[in-house]
């Protein structure tokens, strides 16, 4: 029997790698360098005497032992997060992990003005990782569809609309990668009119504000801009639902409850 002590830190990282299904996604979530992640997972396997991953060109697939261990670690990240909260002084504001798309996160970051009596502080978690809300990879999530997990509470928010925005007299478009519905729609309808591109949505907005082209934005973003004007009616094909999601139990934590109430007030109820 292998009696090498197992690091709880490595187990927590393993849980993130297991959820992400790739080292690259786990790197984005943890900011741990890829070589270090690889060494730590190999060391964990040696400590446990089990093979946890099937390594291949498509990522880190879990073996049967890996899936079994991942199930045993459900809630570990949340437990560590709660211990960190417990260690904080009672006067400190406790962080609430929020995961949302880029534009929703930007809207919340701008709207959540400092308040002396706020008992929580926002901690934005990247939405491009495969976070498992049921396993409490985040406290609050904003999603385009209701969750299908029984342990997740949900509340429908105002639906999201999109429109074209631009400076007066500017034609053509600015686009990012065609990996979200708004950009897929743009490439399908105006591929010949795209004048500038950028991988980062914030850079696309910078390009539009500099006059390089028009941009497709959620109306809750574009209508608040003073630099760009709406150039179209809402695009019916891009309208979608918006849902706030939280764990059934975690939503009763006072900082999380306060965060949910404030976010719902900002984003609106359906």
Average pLDDT over residues 232-253: 93
Closest CA to 74 of 125, 149, 22: 149
Closest CA to 202 of 230, 181, 226, 221: 221
Distance from C-alpha of 143 to C-alpha of 24, rounded to nearest angstrom: 23
Q: Is the pLDDT of residue 42 over 80?
A: yes
**pLDDT, position 234:** 98
**pLDDT, position 170:** 97
More reliable by pLDDT, 12 or 238: 238
Average pLDDT over residues 85-95: 64
Cα→Cα distances 231→7, 37, 137, 188, Å: 56, 47, 39, 18
**pLDDT, position 128:** 55
Contacts of the segment 113-121: beta carbons below 8 A, 24+ positions apart: 118/93, 118/258, 118/262, 119/93, 119/94, 119/254, 119/255, 119/258, 120/93, 120/94, 120/95, 120/96, 120/255, 120/256, 120/258, 120/259, 121/93, 121/94, 121/95, 121/96
More reliable by pLDDT, 194 or 250: 194
Closest CA to 235 of 159, 143, 157: 159
The fraction of the chain above a pLDDT of 90, given in percent, is 58
Average pLDDT over residues 196-211: 96
160 in Cβ contact with 267 (< 8 Å): no
User: What b/e readout covers 207-221, taking b as 16+ CB neighbours within 10 angstroms?
Assistant: bbbebbbbbbbbbbb
The pLDDT confidence band at residue 23, using thresholds 50, 70 and 90, is: confident
What is the tens place of the pLDDT at every residue in 222-231? 999 999 999 9
Mean pLDDT of the chain: 88
Strands 94-99 and 59-62: unpaired
């Amino acid at each position: 029997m292998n009696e090498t002590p197992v690091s709880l830190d490595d187990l927590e990282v393993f849980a993130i790698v297991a959820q992400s299904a790739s080292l690259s996604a786990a790197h984005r979530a943890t900011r741990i360098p890829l070589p270090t992640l690889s060494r730590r997972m190999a060391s964990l396997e040696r400590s446990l005497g089990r093979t946890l991953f099937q390594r291949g060109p498509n990522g880190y697939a879990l073996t049967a032992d890996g899936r079994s261990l991942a199930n045993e670690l459900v809630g570990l990240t949340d437990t560590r997060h709660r211990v960190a909260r417990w260690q904080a002084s009672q006067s400190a504001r406790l962080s609430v992990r929020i995961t949302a798309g880029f534009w929703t996160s930007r809207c919340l970051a701008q709207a959540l003005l400092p308040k002396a009596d706020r008992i929580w502080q926002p901690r934005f978690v990247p939405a491009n990782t495969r976070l498992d809300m049921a396993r409490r990879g985040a406290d609050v999530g904003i999603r385009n569809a209701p969750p299908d997990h029984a342990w997740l509470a949900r509340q429908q928010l105002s639906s999201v609309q999109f429109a074209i925005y631009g400076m007066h007299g500017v034609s053509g478009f600015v686009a990012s990668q065609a990996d979200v519905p708004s950009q897929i729609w743009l490439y399908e309808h105006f591929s010949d009119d795209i004048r500038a591109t950028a991988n980062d949505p914030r850079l696309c907005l910078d390009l539009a504000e500099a006059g390089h082209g028009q941009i497709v934005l959620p109306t809750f973003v574009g209508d608040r801009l003073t630099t760009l004007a709406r150039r179209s009616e809402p695009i019916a094909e891009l309208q979608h639902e918006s849902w706030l999601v939280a764990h059934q139990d975690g939503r009763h934590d006072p900082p999380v409850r306060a965060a949910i109430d404030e976010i719902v007030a900002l984003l609106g109820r359906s």
